[in-house]
């Protein structure tokens, strides 16, 4: 049975959540500077990182959205000229999602700044995770 959390555990968890919220705020600000909502940025990242043909269903799964919400998100990205729907090579009835050149440029810019921020935060996150290591 897991040990009861200590005061130090509560403090580490609170600090960890604070660090996550700070990263979230950083990410939202950078996305807005590029004219994107946080969800739009995340959708572009999910599509770019997909190992297989990304679909609306895949985006919904990765962003923890209901399918109709993911469809609306993708529709807005298509309207912005950031995403194209293409026929799947595996199933012609299914549309796969592809980034446009503009989306690749914006995502590259965002990813460079996010990678730098994660690297900056790594020592703090490593220390917080170490504090939460199970000592049982």
What is the CB neighbour count within 10 angstroms for residue 73?
Answer: 21
Whether the per-residue pLDDT at 136 is higher than 60: the answer is no
Residue carrying the six token digits 């020592």: 123
Hey, what domains does the chain have and what are their CATH numbers? Answer: 7-132 (1.10.10.10)
What is the CB neighbour count within 10 angstroms for residue 98?
Answer: 15
Q: Which two tokens stand for residue 124?
A: 């703090």
Global pTM value: 0.90
pLDDT in tens, 31-49: 999 999 999 999 999 999 9
pLDDT in tens, 46-101: 999 999 999 999 999 999 999 999 999 999 999 999 999 998 888 888 899 999 99
The separation between the first and the last C-alpha atoms of the chain, rounded to the nearest angstrom, is 10
pLDDT in tens, 2-20: 789 999 999 999 999 999 9
CA atoms within 13 A on the CB side of 107: 21
């Amino acid at each position: 049975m897991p040990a009861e959390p200590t005061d130090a555990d509560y403090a580490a968890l609170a600090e960890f959540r604070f660090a996550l919220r700070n990263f979230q705020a950083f990410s939202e600000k950078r996305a807005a500077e590029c004219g994107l909502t946080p969800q739009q940025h995340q959708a572009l990242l999910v599509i770019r990182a997909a190992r297989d043909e990304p679909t609306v269903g895949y985006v919904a799964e990765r962003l923890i959205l209901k399918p109709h919400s993911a469809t609306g998100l993708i529709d807005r990205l298509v309207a912005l000229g950031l995403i194209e729907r293409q026929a799947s090579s595996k199933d012609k009835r299914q549309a796969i999602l592809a980034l446009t050149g503009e989306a690749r440029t914006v995502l590259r810019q965002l990813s460079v700044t996010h990678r730098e921020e994660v690297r900056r935060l790594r020592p703090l996150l490593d220390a917080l995770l170490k504090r939460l290591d199970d000592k049982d």
